[in-house]
Chain A
């Protein structure tokens, strides 16, 4: 009974996470690119690029 419940729980959680986490982000992180879904604590600590923004945005002057 417990095994079945655990398997069902894991499948449901996997289903939700697939729906919640874009597949592109999952593929990205395999190649070593952090993104909104798979960001490391390092990103938040350093204040590196925010969502959809480049690190260089601050230093660039708009034409």
Chain B
């Protein structure tokens, strides 16, 4: 969990202080992380191929939406798409590595529930990441883009299940992280609904 949370903190600081630069040089940033994924991801089990770093990034992307309005949230939301793409790039070695392993040694149809949920999560993530590119987003139009990105909640659920069903030492950490998110998101949705209701009455 140390690596996951450290990644979240490092990326939140990067997002806060270098939001403009990350957006401006996004393609170079992607190329840099693709190179890292290619070099480190092809080696034995490490912090990227085990999925710690990409999850740390997705954790930030997930929590960004429930932060209070203000400079911190604005700066981070400015690079939400970029961070989601970086997370996806770094997730590829994890997905490919485990898929290859299961095909070669375990057998595709004899995997754990966590494994299959992981595959579905990657399939859900693919269109989300693709539409996170600014050019694709502008071609798609805001309404379609927004509709597509409602599936990000499904992705969060799948990731939560993928991690908790592993039943490893970090089980309670995952429960706290996802449980806390659900509580805060629900609180936020209820609050927004109440405000809308009051506005409609007036």
Contact = CB atoms under 8 A, between A and B. Distances in A.
Interface of A: 1-3, 5-6, 9-10, 13-14, 16-18, 20-21, 26, 29-34, 37-42, 45-46
Given A10-B5, A13-B177, A41-B166, A29 B46 contact: yes
Interface string B18-57: 0000000000000000000000000111110010100000
A18 B2 contact: yes
Interface in B111-137: 112, 114-115
Interface residues of B, number: 37
Contacts of A26: 2-3
A51 B166 CA distance: 18
B143 to A, nearest CB: 28
Given A3-B72, A6-B67, A32 B44 contact: yes
A33 B121 CA distance: 27
Nearest to A45: B106
A32 B180 CA distance: 31
16 contacts: A5-B184, A6-B63, A9-B180, A13-B1, A13-B173, A16-B173, A18-B2, A26-B3, A29-B3, A29-B47, A31-B46, A34-B45, A37-B169, A38-B52, A40-B45, A41-B115
Contacts of A6: 63, 66-67, 180, 184
Given A3-B72, A37-B169, A41-B98, A13 B5 contact: yes
B75 interface: no
Nearest to B6: A14
A2 to B, nearest CB: 5
B184 A17 contact: no
B88 interface: no
B162 to A, nearest CB: 10
B98 A42 contact: yes
Given A13-B1, A13-B176, A41-B166, 17 more contacts: A6-B63, A6-B66, A6-B184, A16-B173, A17-B1, A17-B173, A18-B2, A21-B1, A26-B2, A29-B46, A29-B50, A32-B45, A37-B169, A40-B50, A42-B45, A45-B106, A46-B105
